[in-house]
């Protein structure tokens, strides 16, 4: 079973495979898991490609799967390029550079003409 899991991990190009069992792993199971090799993480240490865990150890929190912590985004997000000082951007609140959108909206509205219609009674 462990050999099969190792082949599936390789075929599916998975980094790590976990095998949870009710009984303690036997020596041949441990040997096969070791033969599968290790996953070399680009952000931290290496991890066994096939890991054997017992249900009892998982429930009692004596054991847990080992895998790289990608929560920091080391492999999933690219760092944004810094663009400080290269753009000719004006302060959005500066009146001298066309800031304050409310002023532009008021200036663009046509002057009121004639009487306003009453909406009462319609």
**What pLDDT score was predicted for residue 68?**
80
Q: Is residue 15 part of a domain?
A: yes
> Which residue has better confidence, 108 or 8?
8
Q: Which domain holds residue 49?
A: 2-59
Does 23 reside within a domain?
Answer: yes
Give domain status of residue 13, yes or no. yes
pLDDT average, residue stretch 28-39: 94
Position with higher pLDDT, 5 vs 103: 5
Instruction: Specify which residues 85 forms β-bridges with.
Output: none
Q: Which one, of 8, 68, 65, 2, lies nearest residue 32 by Cα?
A: 2
User: What is the number of domains present in the chain?
Assistant: 1
Better-predicted residue by pLDDT, 98 or 7? 7
Q: Is residue 116 part of a domain?
A: no
pLDDT of residue 112: 67
Residue 33 lies in a domain: yes
Task: Please check whether residue 14 lies inside any domain of the structure.
Answer: yes
Q: 64 with 14: CB under 8 angstroms? A: no
Task: Please report whether residue 16 resides in a domain.
Answer: yes
Residue 69 lies in a domain: no
Say what the pTM is: 0.56
């Amino acid at each position: 079973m462990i050999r099969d899991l190792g082949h599936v991990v390789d075929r599916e190009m998975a980094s790590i495979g976990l095998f949870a069992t009710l009984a303690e792993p036997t020596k041949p199971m441990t040997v096969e898991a070791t033969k599968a090799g290790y996953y070399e993480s680009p952000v931290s240490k290496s991890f066994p490609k096939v890991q054997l865990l017992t249900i009892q150890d998982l429930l009692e929190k004596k054991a847990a799967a080992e895998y790289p912590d990608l929560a920091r985004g080391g492999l999933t997000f690219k760092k944004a390029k810094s663009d400080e000082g290269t753009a000719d951007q004006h302060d959005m609140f500066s009146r001298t550079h066309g800031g304050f959108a409310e002023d532009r909206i008021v200036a663009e509205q046509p002057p009121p003409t004639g009487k306003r219609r009453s909406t009462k009674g319609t």
